[in-house]
A and B are shown apart, each in its own frame.
Chain A
């Protein structure tokens, strides 16, 4: 039986599906009775989904054009100098 600490130590590999079959079984055994680790696994999945769909730090369309224009102006200036 693995502990929560041991579970968290291989959490990333488990998430990516990169643990050996016997480790996977142990982790699933742990998850079946440990509410804390179950919550962490579930909410990490929800976090990834929220981040992925958030469109964070995206530039609005209207902001892109002037920035591209500024960049190209700077490049043309560089070429001229």
Chain B
């Protein structure tokens, strides 16, 4: 059933009741941990408090958040699990499919879409989360209790996704109806904050004298960490977290305390979590590890003078944290060959998963460090941590691989399915290049015919979708070249990206999207985009409409990453100029707003 041996705990194992109550079934990922029942108990405790207590969010809202976060993590296991759970709650397949592909198009209230934007950003770009993202939720009348719950649900889902990547359970459901996991639009990234802008939600004063979990933390850490103080609206969850610390992090029957602290340190560093790295460096200092040694472990554990076994363990943890989509049974077997038992490895996965939960809570609540950090992580550390590589945008296997293989062996039906899957995307890219809807339809036929003729030469160095967009790009460019006057995608013309200066500088409405119907907004955007020079328009289509990564857009257009970034910025600023007259605050309301 998974990479690990299971123990028969009987059908009425009490911890499974929580999962049965929420999901309507007991996911295999929990049966896969029965070698260590205390771990299952800890996970069930947190799940019970977060999922079964309906305080701020409904069960369907929680399931939708978890589905979105599972998509962001590229966890097919949990996408199927939450899809089934929501389906059993009566959510129609059409809505679920839209949540998987692009929740903005799902039939959901606008406040739910804002919640999904927020939790997706928390799951994928947590250090960029800011008070502005919280303010956006409040604008949608989402209260503090709901915000806190959304953070907790996101944390719990990242815990679950880490577990499934590390344990390899069989899928509980084979749901053929689920569309291939899409590239959901990401909310505007904004500036790097590093998880220290909060606390973002209200707190309640609680004393260790009357609140046992705080007494426990004080005793264990010597202080009450801010990440727990920031959750005092939900004492029941804090109690479950204290129990998890006790049951997962304290025992030394398999991994030692110091090994667990190494795991927490390396995994937090991979998540760019300054707060948690500082906390675990402090824990290690109390165990006799110097600040420099801890810092070296966080930076590069291979240069830290650790034993061969501990280095292998931390290699395993780093991959599980940063690149779960690439994780496999081979990683587990490699660690076994380094002398670790099944129980050791299972515990290492559980510790990493719990760390993922706490890292997410900390970033989502923006708590300031309890310990002055020796190292403050910034976006420049991302390449080392490879933190973004867990995103499906970068590391997910090609969802078209099977159909491509069939098409390469001459299966025309498989190719037709590929055409069906990608026709809308190719069309949008072509409109972006040629700037004319009718011509884009013609160019689309040429694109797919060329793809069919050359599919035998496709060597899977990129995703099929990227390869197809490269063909679309070349086809569109050829049409531009055939036109007079020539509109170029190269650097000639249009000035440089850096010399653009905005002219529209009046304040926009708080919720500009609410000023017009969806059809009107679409018309404004399409008209504005068609007025952009092709070289900017195409980058905007690929990045902001198709949600390609910068690297994928660079591959598809045959340009450098720097050029894509620069053109994207210019394109957004130019389009902003065009849209501004529709969305600025009217003069009178602006005067009222500033009190005149």
Contact = CB atoms under 8 A, between A and B. Distances in A.
Contacts of B441: 67
Interface in A1-55: 4-5, 8-9, 11-18, 20-21, 24, 27-28, 35-36, 39-40, 42-55
A40 B576 CA distance: 9
Given A43-B576, A43-B580, A57-B541, A8 B500 contact: yes
Contact of B423 (A5, A21, A67, A78): A67
B185 A56 contact: no
Contacts of A18: 379
B544 interface: yes
Given A9-B498, A39-B505, A56 B569 contact: no
Contact of A68 (B416, B507, B573): B416
A56 B497 CA distance: 24
Contacts of A76: 412
Contact of B513 (A16, A17, A50, A59): A50
B540 A51 contact: yes
A22 B540 CA distance: 29
A24 B380 CA distance: 12
Most buried by B among A13, A14, A15, A56: A56
A57 B431 contact: yes
A11 B569 contact: yes
Interface residues of B, number: 71
A36 B576 CA distance: 14
A57 B572 contact: no
Chain B interface mostly helix, strand, loop or mixed? helix
Contacts of B502: 8, 36, 40
Interface string B517-528: 010011011100
Given A5-B501, A12-B568, A55-B518, A45 B188 contact: yes
A47 B500 contact: no
Given A17-B379, A44-B188, A56-B428, 14 more contacts: A5-B501, A9-B498, A12-B497, A12-B570, A15-B188, A17-B192, A21-B378, A42-B507, A49-B188, A53-B521, A55-B518, A57-B437, A58-B424, A78-B453
A24 B191 contact: yes
A48 B423 contact: no
A46 B191 contact: no
7 contacts: A12-B565, A15-B191, A24-B191, A43-B580, A51-B525, A74-B449, A75-B415
Contact of A78 (B428, B437, B449): B449
A17 B128 contact: yes
